Each structure stands twice: as C-alpha cells, then as structure tokens.
Homo-oligomer: A and B are copies of this chain.
Amino acid sequence: MGTTQLESVPEPKYWHLKTVLTEALDSEFSVGEILPNERDLAARYGVARATLRQALEQLELEGRLQRRRGVGTTVAPPRMGVAVGTSRHTWPGAGGDVWQPVDCVRSVPPASVAAALETGGEEVHIVRRSRTSHGRSVATELLYVPAASVPDLTAIDAPSGPSRARAVLRELHRLELDGQDRAVELGSAGADDARELDRLPGSPVLVLTTRFHAAGRTAALSVATYRADTCRLTFGDSPDVEIHDDPARRAS
C-alpha cells in the first residue's frame, strides 16, 4: 500500500556522523586544534563511543584527524607531498638523496624478496634507512642488496651500522643502472615500522617497492614504508614541479 519508501537505504550512523564531523572540521576548527574527548563527543551526538570511534577512524584514515593516546584528538594539517622520484632513474643513496642510513645487516630475506632477487636461500645485505620531513619521521626502508651486486665489498668497514650501510651503497653505485620499476600498495605497519613512524601497530601505510635493474638482473630491491595518514607520494615527472610541500597549512 502507500508506503512509498523513499529512504530504502538507511545511512549508517557512523557514516552520517563522519559527514557531520567533516563539515564541523571545515567550518569550526583550525589545524592543530584539539577536539573534545571521545566520551563527550559521543554523548553530544547521542551515539555509543564505539560508533563515534568508527567515524573518527575513517577521518583519521583520510588524514583529517590525528589521535594520540593520553593526549587527545587534533585536527591534522593537509597531507604533505613527499617526492618519491622523477622519471630519471638513480641508485638509492645517490646525490641529493633524502634518506638517512641507519643500519646494515646480512640476513636471509623474506621469501617474496628472495623470489624477486632470484637469490635462493642466500643471505643478502639489508640496508635500513629512514626518511624525515619537516622534522617528522615519514618513512622507513629496507634495501635488499644481493652479495653479487657488491662483489668488491670488503670487510674494512664495520660489519654493521650506518658506516657499513654507506659502504654497501657506495659499492652499489659502481654498477650501471639500466632501469627501475615501482609499485605502490596499501599495507599495515608492523611492530618495528610502527615504532619508527610513531604510529600504532597496524596503522595503514603506503608500501613503495622499487626494483633496480643492472647487468640484466634485479640488482637491488627497496621496500619503503610511508605513513599513509600524513603522506601523499608524488611522482614529479614534469620539469617545473619538484618537491611540492603544501604551501597552506592553515584553514579558515
């Protein structure tokens, strides 16, 4: 009978709440401002705390909010553009590199990495590097370098540590780079990465995998993990745009 069901799809509460909060963020709050706590917000909007949190999680995923345990929820600045390379291919650690060598060990890589490098169960050099921007740690990287790619590496340097990392990179640069290819996918931060990136374990991250080709092989493999909440990975291929940090960090 006449029950014209116009709203046949009732919007979930957390979805509607997210919309409401987004508008509030745009109009009533400025970057860095601290929001009321979750219990108060939930009461204000007449929902359970869990429902409110579902909305906040979405907003954090979109980079609109930042939540820190023991502190509170703040309005996040716009995501920063992080340059991850131009069309010109260069070795990691080449001039002008923004990465900081942290460590280097010799170990057997994960199976997926070993497959890409076509090393069997052999040990490879694993260089650990980190990247900061605006004083914040934004990414960590594991660079897998087969022993065959750095044949002349000697033991004159320390067996591990930053200086060893630099030595491996130096040797790697002696190869002629034929090309590289990349892939970006969504991941979640492991315990180590989470600590390094000042996030909770399981936080969403953008994983940028780069294969470096030289001498007909994959000479090195880089797996870089970027904070997904604060970073926008930019592939600047046009001449006039390089690193482009968002100029405006203030709203309203």
Contacts and interface: CB of A to CB of B under 8 A. Distances in A.
B181 A234 contact: yes
Contact of A251 (B111, B211, B235, B249): B111
A119 interface: no
Given A15-B202, A111-B248, A237 B58 contact: no
Given A15-B202, A186-B61, A201-B15, A251 B180 contact: no
Contact of A252 (B111, B187, B235): B111
A10 interface: no
Contacts of A87: 87, 237
Contacts of A178: 238
Contact of A58 (B15, B188, B233, B241): B188
B183 A235 contact: yes
Contacts of A187: 62
A216 to B, nearest CB: 9
A93 interface: no
A40 B123 CA distance: 42
- The interface residues of chain A, by DSSP majority, are classed as mixed
A233 B112 CA distance: 17
Contacts of A250: 111-112
A91 B181 CA distance: 21
How many chain A residues sit at the interface, stated as a range, is: 35 or more
A81 interface: yes
B183 A232 contact: yes
Interface string A55-66: 000100111000
Interface in A187-201: 187-188, 201
A186 B203 CA distance: 12
Count chain B CB atoms within 10 A of each CB in A61, A234, A235, A246 and give the residue with the most: A235
A230 to B, nearest CB: 10
A252 to B, nearest CB: 7
Nearest to A209: B232
Contacts of A15: 201-202
Of residues A58, A184, A232, which shows the largest number of chain B Cβ atoms within 10 Å of its Cβ? Answer: A184
B184 A233 contact: yes
21 contacts: A63-B186, A81-B183, A87-B87, A89-B237, A111-B248, A111-B252, A112-B248, A179-B237, A182-B234, A183-B233, A183-B235, A184-B184, A184-B232, A185-B206, A185-B231, A185-B232, A185-B233, A186-B186, A186-B204, A186-B228, A213-B240
